[in-house]
C-alpha cells in the first residue's frame, strides 16, 4: 500500500489563539479509494522537514487546500507563513528524491509560486461549479463541471515557465497543470469534496501519484 503524505491547513482557535493543523476527514476516505495510506504532515519548522519526511518513507506527497499564501498579504487572517515554509521544504525534498507531488487548490498555487509563477485575484470562484477547457490527453480523466473554492487564480501568463497547462476555465485561468520534466502536477478543484467521489478524479490522482 502506497504511503502518501498530505499537508494540512492552519486554523486559529478564536478563544485560545492556538494555531492548529487541520485536515478534512474526507481526504482519508478518498485515499482509501486510491488504495493508499495517508499521513497528515504537521506544519513544523522547515529545518525539521527533511528528517520527518525521511522517516515516513513516503511514496507521494499531496499539498492540500486552505490558507492563502502569506506572500500575497502577510496580514490576511488565513495566512500561515509556517505552512508556506514547511511546504516549500517538502516540495524540495520530494523533487530531490523523485517522489510525485500533487497540489490541490492552494497546493496548486503553492507549486506555481515555488516554480516562479504568479497569482492574481479572481471573483466568483468560491462555493460554485464551472466548466473547463481540457486538453485532449486528459479529457477522459477530468469531468466537468468542477467544484471551486478559491479567491486566487493563475492567469495564463502567470503560470511558471516549467509548468504545462492541461485545463483552463472560461477566463483562461489555469485550473490544472503538469510539470514539463518532473513528477509534479496541480489541480484547482477539490476531489475530496465530491459526494460520491468521482471515478475520473480517482483515475487522475492515481496517474499523478503513480
| Angstrom distances, CA of residue 2 to CA of 59, 121, 124, 183 | 6, 36, 37, 16
**Interval 186-198 mean pLDDT:** 98
User: Which residues have C-beta within 8 Å of that of residue 113, sequence separation ≥ 6?
Assistant: 69, 71, 119
| Residue 54: all three cell numbers together | 525521511
How many angstroms separate the CA atoms of 114 and 127, rounded?
26
* Band of residue 157 on the pLDDT scale cut at 50, 70, 90: very high
How many angstroms separate the CA atoms of 51 and 153, rounded?
33
* Band of residue 125 on the pLDDT scale cut at 50, 70, 90: confident
Q: Mind listing the domains of the chain with CATH numbers?
A: 2-117+175-209 (3.40.50.880)
- What residues are annotated to the active site? 105, 190, 192
The neighbouring-strand residues paired with 178 are: 164, 185
* Band of residue 124 on the pLDDT scale cut at 50, 70, 90: confident
By CB atoms closer than 10 A (0-12, 13-18, 19+), residue 156 is exposed
Q: What is the pLDDT of residue 27?
A: 98
Choose among 60, 8, 56: nearest CA to 36.
60
- As a 3-state breakdown, the chain gives helix, strand, coil percent values, each rounded to 5, of 30, 30, 40
Q: What is the pLDDT of residue 92?
A: 98
Q: What is the pTM of this model?
A: 0.97
Amino acid at each position: 500500500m502506497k504511503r502518501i503524505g498530505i499537508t494540512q491547513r492552519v486554523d486559529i482557535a478564536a478563544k485560545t489563539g492556538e494555531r492548529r493543523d487541520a485536515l478534512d476527514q474526507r481526504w482519508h476516505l478518498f485515499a482509501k479509494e486510491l488504495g493508499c495510506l495517508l499521513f497528515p504532515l504537521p506544519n513544523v519548522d522547515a529545518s525539521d522537514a527533511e528528517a520527518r519526511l525521511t522517516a515516513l518513507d513516503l511514496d507521494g506527497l499531496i499539498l492540500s487546500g486552505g490558507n492563502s499564501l502569506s506572500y500575497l498579504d502577510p496580514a490576511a487572517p488565513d495566512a500561515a507563513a509556517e505552512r508556506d515554509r514547511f511546504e516549500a521544504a517538502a516540495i524540495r525534498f520530494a523533487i530531490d528524491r523523485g517522489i510525485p507531488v500533487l497540489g490541490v487548490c492552494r497546493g496548486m498555487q503553492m507549486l506555481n509560486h515555488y516554480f516562479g509563477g504568479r497569482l492574481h485575484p479572481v471573483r466568483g470562484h468560491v462555493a460554485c461549479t464551472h466548466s473547463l477547457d481540457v486538453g485532449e490527453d486528459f479529457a477522459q480523466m477530468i469531468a466537468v463541471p468542477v467544484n471551486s473554492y478559491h479567491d486566487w487564480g493563475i492567469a495564463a501568463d502567470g503560470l511558471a515557465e516549467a509548468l504545462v497547462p492541461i485545463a483552463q476555465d472560461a477566463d483562461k485561468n489555469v485550473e490544472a497543470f503538469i510539470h514539463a520534466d518532473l513528477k509534479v502536477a496541480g489541480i484547482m478543484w477539490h476531489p475530496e469534496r465530491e459526494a460520491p467521489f468521482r471515478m475520473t478524479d480517482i483515475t487522475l490522482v492515481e496517474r499523478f501519484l503513480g
